């Protein structure tokens, strides 16, 4: 049972980024650590349905989702 006033959700906010003149961002260290993102990893960039942001998903995670949908 949850205690009143205690958040039991996983951390969602992992930092703030600034888009450079070249359109690049740096993924904050907390996000990289929490999500196990390493140099060389490839990420899908997905537009949110409402058009107000993006979601980043590791390529291998998307490949697994696609395999599961095909079964």
pTM above 0.85, yes or no: no
pLDDT at position 71 is: 87
Per-residue pLDDT reduced to its tens digit, 1-14: 456 666 566 667 88
Stated length of the chain: 71
- In this structure, what token pair is assigned to residue 43? 């990420």
- Kindly report the CA angle at 42 between 38 and 47, in degrees rounded to 5? 120
Per-residue pLDDT reduced to its tens digit, 27-54: 999 999 989 999 999 999 999 999 999 9
């Amino acid at each position: 049972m949850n205690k009143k006033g205690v958040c039991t959700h996983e951390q969602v906010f992992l930092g703030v980024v600034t888009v450079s003149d070249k359109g690049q961002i740096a993924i904050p260290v907390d996000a990289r650590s929490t999500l196990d993102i390493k140099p060389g990893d490839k990420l899908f960039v997905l537009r949110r349905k409402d058009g107000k942001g993006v979601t980043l998903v590791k390529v291998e995670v998307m490949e697994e989702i696609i395999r599961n949908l095909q079964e």
